[in-house]
Amino acid sequence: MDKETHIFHDEYTTESSTDTPSEPPNQPPKRKNEEKQQEQTVSGQTDYDKSKPRRVIIKAREIEQ
């Protein structure tokens, strides 16, 4: 972390969650076949529904000045 600005440097920041195609908040739940389509388009990534609360964990290393 930059001690003067207190801003994490991007290159040392990782998020445990990955972005997936989103839907507007609080849309009615998807039907099964729609869910399957979404899974196929983002294969290999964590699939989650952005209309529900989700947890993100960020890890960052402090930079020595």
Chain positions contacting another protein, by CB under 8 A: 1, 8, 24-29, 48-62
Separation CA 51–CA 61 (nearest Å):
31
Nearest of 18, 62, 9, 7 to residue 43 by alpha carbon: 18
Which of 28/44 has CB closer to another protein? 28
Which of 38/51 has CB closer to another protein? 51
Which of 40/57 has CB closer to another protein? 57
Separation CA 54–CA 16 (nearest Å):
11
Q: How far is the CB of 58 from another protein (least distance, A)?
A: 5
